[in-house]
Amino acid sequence: MNEPDTAQQANWWEQACRSASPLRFIDFNLRGIGQVMFQDNPLSGLCFFAAIGWGSFMAGALEIAIGGLLALLIASLTALWLRVETTVLHAGLYGFNAYLLGIALATFLDPSPLLWVYVVLGGAVSVIATLAATRVMQTWGLSALTAPFILITWLLLLSSNGFSSVPAGALPTSGLIQPIAAEAADPLRILDFLQGILISVSQVFVKGDGIAALLILIGLAVGSIAAAGYALAAALVSVIVAHLLGAESQLITGGLVGFNPILTAIAVGTVFARPSLRSGLYALLATIVTVLVQGAMVAAVTPFAIPTLTASFVLVSWLFLLAKPNRIEA
């Protein structure tokens, strides 16, 4: 937001939010959606929200968009009830884990009355988990990232196996009996590469839709041109690396290999370091490692019949940020 017009618009909106509590509530909820990809910008959040709405509509699964919104609102109300720090709340930092949680639960669990109980419960508990994880990770000078989303979502998905009223129709099948073995990769055409790059972006929000991906990229560019550039570069690198390693072609074109590296690249290259050649190379290394860790996470969680979610992004980001030599910031 370096241009005067953009700055003036931001100031106008901020003044409006200060004078009207309902606008402030809308503002930090939109920022919460934007913070899924580290964008503390309500316009970015609005673009992401539109992307999820479009992708859910096209998939005939509006419950996914509703689930994300419901969990977000519950998290915001819970944060207000707990009287969390206002600055952190207004930056949307108590909303993004809940938003992802609501989307994931509505994606992997079949629609049922208890699905919405899970969404409400998960949205509320995500705030408590965020507070706890933040306190723990501050010991090492790290951010909790999406760890609360991963932990609460995994627990709720696993618990669905014990309750017949919470059917899990879209969860992966367990691999406890048969050994894990990847299928051989098919040759990828140029269109396959392009599809893999684009869909990797939308899979950050558990959506495999090209238009949704474009809306997400627009939202990224609104908040940070560097973040949008790193997202595209990471998607390209992850698709190439995954193919060279022989990943299953459907996983590549479906964006399931690239969404974690995108988050890693943005975090390591633009959020926790100044964008530069050195930090860019550091982010490139982290991106490649995330592809490898994603493969490891698939093998690790397959016996439990749960998705990897953003676990590889969190693990690799923590590793690289914990090391984080000062020279990469120059």
**Per-residue pLDDT reduced to its tens digit, 231-250:** 999 999 999 999 899 888 88
User: Is 173 a domain residue?
Assistant: no
Q: Is residue 128 included in any domain, yes or no? A: yes
Burial of 21 (0-12, 13-18, 19+ CB in 10 A): exposed
What distances in angstroms separate CA 80 from CA 86, 148, 241, one per listed residue?
9, 18, 44
Residue 304 has pLDDT above 70, yes or no: yes
Mean pLDDT of 114-134: 97
Residue 14 belongs to a domain: no
Q: Is residue 287 part of a domain?
A: yes
| Same domain as 223, residue 123 | no
Residues 231 and 311 in one domain: yes
Domain containing 187: what range? 183-330
Report the distance separating Cα 84 and Cα 77, nearest Å: 11
Residues 202 and 289 in one domain: yes
Same domain, 238 and 144: no
Kindly report the average pLDDT of the chain as a whole number.
89
Structure tokens at 98: 């809940």
**Under a CB-based contact definition with an 8 Å cutoff, are residues 196 and 255 in contact?**
yes
What do you get for the CA distance between the two ends of the chain, in Å? 22
Kindly state whether residue 177 falls inside one of the protein's structural domains.
Answer: no
Predicted pLDDT at 15: 87
Where does residue 122 rank: exposed (0-12), middle (13-18), buried (19+ CB within 10 A)?
buried
Q: What is the pLDDT of residue 191?
A: 84
How many domains are there within the chain? 2
- CA separation for the pair 321, 273 (Å, rounded): 9
Q: What pLDDT is attached to residue 330?
A: 39
**Are residues 318 and 214 part of one domain?**
yes
Domain boundary, last residue among 115, 136, 165? 165
pTM for the model stands at: 0.90
Same domain, 224 and 265: yes
Q: How do residues 38-84 score in pLDDT, each as one tens digit?
A: 999 999 999 999 999 999 999 999 999 999 999 999 999 999 999 99
239 C-beta neighbours (distance < 10 Å), count:
28
pLDDT number for residue 325? 60
- Are 253 and 150 in the same domain? no
The answer to whether residue 9 scores a pLDDT higher than 90 is no
Mean pLDDT of 14-32: 93
Q: Which of 98, 131, 165 lies at the terminal end of a domain, its last residue?
A: 165
Q: Is the same domain home to 133 and 65?
A: yes
CB atoms closer than 10 angstroms to residue 246 = 11
**Is the same domain home to 152 and 284?**
no
pLDDT of residue 247: 86
- Are residues 191 and 157 part of one domain? no
Residue 255 in any domain: the answer is yes
Same domain for 32 and 153:
yes
Looking at the structure, tell me whether residues 188 and 325 fall in a common domain. yes
Question: Which band of pLDDT confidence, cut at 50, 70 and 90, is reported for residue 13?
Answer: confident
Q: Tell me the C-alpha distance between 311 and 296, whole Å.
A: 10
Say if 61 falls within a structural domain. Answer: yes
Task: Output the pLDDT for position 130.
Answer: 98
Distance CA 155, CA 137 (A): 20
The answer to whether the CB of 287 falls within 8 A of the CB of 238 is yes
* Residue 270 domain-assigned (yes or no): yes
CATH code where residue 106 lies: 1.10.3430.10
DSSP-derived secondary structure for 109-176: S-S-HHHHHHHHHHHHHHHHHHHHHHHHHGGGT---TTHHHHHHHHHHHHHGGG-TTS--TTSPPP-S
